[in-house]
């Protein structure tokens, strides 16, 4: 069974510092990787996705992918108290059924991030 | 913007009741999903649908059924609600692999 592992935390980071969130996955054939942010009591919202090895930047967020090590990370620069949330890592899965297949995601359990003012 | 809506934000039901949770998406997505989320257990897939009237079991389908009569609507049915089905229920729809979530329904079964 495909697995996605994250440290549950809490990860405590001072305001203005860089928060580093890590994720490992078991399926070497995985091609697509996603980061979602989930505030307490709310639903997950997509932050960014990455397909290729290396870094992908979007504003204060940088996703890093190393397929050889089966490792994905999310860096948040200039952390703000509003970044305090649970961050979910997700990896693509392909489910086959009679007549075809469908794309889905396997989610990690999330890392709880706290930005201290 | 993708919009996924769920029929209720909060719901309180009695043990043994039949419960309907509805999800609607406005982006013509093929795939739709139902998850439940519990503390310490993360997101667990209950059912998904890849086309109208088509469905596949996820990891925890027991005690649940689904219906997809129209492309935009995916319903989750608890045939006879039990207290262990108290949870946050999340619907998602996807374009290729990217999933977009609705606001969630917090269900309490007494």
A46 touches chain B (CB under 8 A): yes
Q: What is the pLDDT of residues B29-69, one digit of tens each?
A: 999 999 999 998 999 999 999 989 899 999 999 999 999 99
- Best residue of A9, A105, A111, A112 to probe chain B, by most B CBs closer than 10 Å: A105
Question: Are A105 and B102 within 8 A, CB to CB?
Answer: no
Q: Provide the shortest C-alpha distance from residue B73 to chain A (in Å).
A: 18
Q: How far is CA A88 from CA A52, B30, B60, B70, in A?
A: 19, 23, 20, 30
Q: What is the pLDDT of residues A47-80, one digit of tens each?
A: 999 999 999 999 999 999 999 999 999 999 999 9
B95 touches chain A (CB under 8 A): no
- What is the spatial distance between Cα B82 and Cα B68, in angstroms, rounded to a whole number? 23
- What is the spatial distance between Cα A112 and Cα A110, in angstroms, rounded to a whole number? 6
A6 touches chain B (CB under 8 A): no
């Amino acid at each position: 069974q495909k697995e996605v592992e994250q440290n549950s935390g809490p990860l405590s980071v001072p305001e203005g510092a860089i928060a580093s969130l890590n994720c490992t996955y078991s399926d070497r054939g995985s091609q697509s990787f996603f980061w979602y942010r989930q505030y307490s009591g709310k639903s997950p919202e997509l932050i960014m996705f990455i397909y290729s090895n290396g870094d992908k930047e979007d504003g204060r967020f940088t996703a890093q992918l190393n397929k050889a090590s089966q490792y994905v990370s999310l860096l948040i620069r200039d952390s703000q108290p509003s970044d305090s949330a649970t961050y979910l890592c997700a990896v693509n899965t392909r489910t086959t059924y009679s007549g075809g297949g469908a794309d889905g995601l396997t989610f990690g359990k999330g890392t709880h991030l706290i930005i201290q003012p | 913007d993708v919009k996924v809506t769920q029929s209720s934000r909060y719901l309180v039901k009695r043990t043994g009741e039949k419960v309907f949770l509805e999800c609607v998406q406005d982006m013509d997505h093929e795939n739709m999903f139902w998850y439940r989320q519990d503390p310490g257990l993360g997101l667990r897939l209950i059912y998904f649908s890849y086309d109208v009237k088509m469905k596949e079991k996820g990891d925890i389908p027991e005690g649940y059924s689904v219906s997809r009569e129209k492309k935009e609507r995916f319903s989750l049915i608890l045939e006879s609600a039990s207290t262990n089905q108290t949870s946050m229920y999340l619907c998602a729809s996807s374009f290729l692999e990217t999933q977009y979530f609705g606001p969630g329904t917090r269900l309490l079964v007494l």
